[in-house]
Structure 1
Amino acid sequence: MTRKSGLGKGLDALIPGNQPPAGEGNIQQIPIEAISANPYQPRHEVENQHLEELADSIRQHGILQPLIVTRDPFSGQYSLIAGERRLRAARLAGLESVPAIVRLASEQQRLELALIENLQRTDLGPLETAQAYQRLADEFGLSHEEIAERVGKSRVAVTNTLRLLKLPESVQKALANGSISEGHARALLQLPTSQAQIAVLQMIIERGLSVRQTEELTRKYGGERPTRPAPAETLPEIRSLEEKLRQQLGTRVTLQHGKKGGKLIIHYYSNEELNTLLDQLLRD
């Protein structure tokens, strides 16, 4: 299977100019009341302020990019594939109809395309992304590798995102409402029990711990020997190198550097992640 070079291949296939089947691809004005929401929409919430701003823009300039919908041949009604915010904002703006392109799409395609559209606009929170990945795995039997190909991510990135769903409900709630960041949540995954994760969560919130401080704390609670702080004059450089390695490998990397040497620790959390890392490191 050929890997896609990035996000949006599915959306590109839906717009005019890509040789759609006969009778499809033309932009039509469709009554808003005839369009129902995409049941596979991964985004749970849209900020009212953003919707109001988009509605104001639509009142002034109209909808510049058509929605993508699919039609039920029996009822004649339409179901949204892509354009959730535009549809909501159009309702706020008082429009009676919206420009849309009608396409045939399976249930799997509807979920994939809604996910891709949101990822392109970085609208989804990490948990919403994880839940969408999980639906692709559970409902359509896609492997982590296949999900990664469809959304333009690495397999390790998909696996790491899915691991967020293993966190206790209170930790997931804190991540969803912004009390902690995704980096904090990933650090909490290093702890062996949900009780320890909840305890450290409370410490993060009460003390305002950074991600790095949380990682040190989870190493201590998880039985891993805390790393020795790098010298102050080299700390920014070490952090920069760690971040570059994290981005390249798609997983947490710890660099312990001293005058006479040090350690480079690459963390992995499943056999699948280990295999992916070995593929990257032993490629030649």
Structure 2
Amino acid sequence: MPPTKHGLGRGLGALIPPGVPAALAPGVREVEVARISPNPRQPRHRMDQDALRDLANSIKEHGLIQPLIVTPAPDSTDLAPRYQLIAGERRWTAAKLAGLERVPVIVRGATPQEMLELALVENIQRADLNPLEEATAYRELVDEFGLTQEQVASKVGKDRTTVANALRLLKLPEQVRAALADETISEGHARAILTVADEKQQRALLRTVIENHYSVRQTEETARRMNEEPKIKVQHATVAKGSARIEREMPAATRALEDEFRKALSTRVEVTRSKQGGKIVISFYS
């Protein structure tokens, strides 16, 4: 009976069983840390520095328990072998911080596509990627390597809908993506903002969410109102000739703010904006 083949979605267990000490794992060798370079297709762009220092302290005391997965670098030679990481960049970085000169590795051949796939799977399984990093890696597999969303999902052990929803995050305006990347807003907030079709309104909703500390549920409700009434026309009194009344257009985000005040104060509230600023009028009755 031929051996059973497993997809990448099962993770790196096919390369080295979890929990097996590096010295006992088959095919492990030690190489100089300086001969290893980062994976150029590493999807993760940020590391928690406190967690990295903790890992470095652990490695300093106990050594590197699990070997890194590497592949020969393009400039590698028999006399001067060099390697690129496939998986284990966080452990490699911590090992350097710990002062290790040599680290255990497993060497295997890998195409650029496999390097991205394996790094992506490792990070997903360890929850090391933020939503945008994950989405960007999916996009690279689709655009650069010609995979369908179904194929990407199969590679990383996800369903197609999850991959499709992740890719949609890349359509958000830069300001929203930046807020998601630095965790000013959550993925739930970003998905709610994404339901608003107009980019200008998306940016307006982002400001409202941040300024008012909206929950995901409040963001979803505000987005729903913005879609139902993209621009709500209201009558606004002016001090022009004869105090004539003119129509102005109120952004839905402002209307949502009025609603919040109205609910909190149980009275009529009007928020008006102008180029110079704005005002809030609160009605009360004797």
Question: Structure 1: which amino acid aligns with 2:56?
Answer: A
- Residue-by-residue CA offset, 1:253-284 (whole Å, 9 max, x unaligned): xxxxxxxxxxxxxxxxxxxxxxxxxxxxxxxx
Q: In structure 2, do the counterparts of structure 1 residues 112 and 77 end up closer, same or farther at CA, with 3 Å as the change threshold? A: same
Question: Structure 2: which amino acid aligns with 1:205?
Answer: I
Instruction: Tell me the residue number matched to 1:237.
Output: none
Instruction: Tell me the residue number matched to 2:282.
Output: none
Structure 2 length normalisation: TM-score?
0.72
Question: 1:14–1:103: 8 Å Cα contact kept in structure 2?
Answer: no
Q: In structure 2, do the counterparts of structure 1 residues 74 and 123 end up closer, same or farther at CA, with 3 Å as the change threshold? A: closer
Instruction: Tell me the residue number matched to 1:103.
Output: 108
Question: 1:4–1:150: 8 Å Cα contact kept in structure 2?
Answer: no
Instruction: Tell me the residue number matched to 2:63.
Output: 62
Q: In structure 2, do the counterparts of structure 1 residues 170 and 56 end up closer, same or farther at CA, with 3 Å as the change threshold? A: same
Structure possessing the higher radius of gyration over alpha carbons: 2
Alignment partner of 1:183 is 2:185: no
Q: In structure 2, do the counterparts of structure 1 residues 33 and 3 end up closer, same or farther at CA, with 3 Å as the change threshold? A: closer
Instruction: Tell me the residue number matched to 1:135.
Output: 140
Offset at residue 14 of structure 1 (A): 2.3
Alignment partner of 1:154 is 2:159: yes
- Which of 192, 208, 221 aligns to 2:226? It is 221
Question: 2:8–2:117: 8 Å Cα contact kept in structure 1?
Answer: no
Instruction: Find the aligned partners of 2:186 and 2:31 in 1 and give their Cα distance.
Output: 40
- Residue-by-residue CA offset, 1:183-229 (whole Å, 9 max, x unaligned): 0000011111110000000000011111111111101111279xxxx
Question: 2:39–2:84: 8 Å Cα contact kept in structure 1?
Answer: yes
- Which of 169, 178, 181 aligns to 2:174? It is 169
Q: In structure 2, do the counterparts of structure 1 residues 167 and 191 end up closer, same or farther at CA, with 3 Å as the change threshold? A: same
Q: Which aligned pairs between 1:199-238 and structure 2 lie closer than 5 A? A: 199-223=204-228
Question: Structure 1: which amino acid aligns with 2:15?
Answer: L
Instruction: Tell me the residue number matched to 2:247.
Output: none
Instruction: Find the aligned partners of 2:39 and 2:148 in 1 and give their Cα distance.
Output: 23
Structure 1 length normalisation: TM-score?
0.72
Offset at residue 51 of structure 1 (A): 0.8
Alignment partner of 1:94 is 2:99: yes
Instruction: Tell me the residue number matched to 1:280.
Output: none
Residues paired across the two proteins, number: 217
Instruction: Tell me the residue number matched to 2:269.
Output: none
Instruction: Find the aligned partners of 1:173 and 1:4 in 2 and give their Cα distance.
Output: 36
Instruction: Find the aligned partners of 1:4 and 1:96 in 2 and give their Cα distance.
Output: 34
Instruction: Find the aligned partners of 1:218 and 1:157 in 2 and give their Cα distance.
Output: 22
Instruction: Find the aligned partners of 2:32 and 2:103 in 1 and give their Cα distance.
Output: 6
Question: Structure 1: which amino acid aligns with 2:156?
Answer: V
Instruction: Tell me the residue number matched to 2:9.
Output: 7
Instruction: Find the aligned partners of 2:35 and 2:101 in 1 and give their Cα distance.
Output: 10
Offset at residue 71 of structure 1 (A): 1.1
Question: 2:8–2:121: 8 Å Cα contact kept in structure 1?
Answer: no
2:207 partner SS: helix
Unaligned runs of 5+ in 1: 17-23, 226-284
Question: Structure 2: which amino acid aligns with 1:125?
Answer: N
Unaligned runs of 5+ in 2: 18-24, 231-286
Instruction: Find the aligned partners of 1:171 and 1:194 in 2 and give their Cα distance.
Output: 10
Offset at residue 88 of structure 1 (A): 0.2
Instruction: Tell me the residue number matched to 2:130.
Output: 125
1:52 partner SS: helix
Question: 2:69–2:106: 8 Å Cα contact kept in structure 1?
Answer: yes
Question: 1:58–1:90: 8 Å Cα contact kept in structure 2?
Answer: yes
More strand by share: 2
Instruction: Find the aligned partners of 1:221 and 1:6 in 2 and give their Cα distance.
Output: 42
Instruction: Find the aligned partners of 2:57 and 2:27 in 1 and give their Cα distance.
Output: 26
Instruction: Tell me the residue number matched to 2:89.
Output: 84
Instruction: Find the aligned partners of 1:106 and 1:149 in 2 and give their Cα distance.
Output: 18
Query: Aligned-residue CA RMSD in angstroms?
Result: 2.3
Instruction: Find the aligned partners of 1:43 and 1:98 in 2 and give their Cα distance.
Output: 22
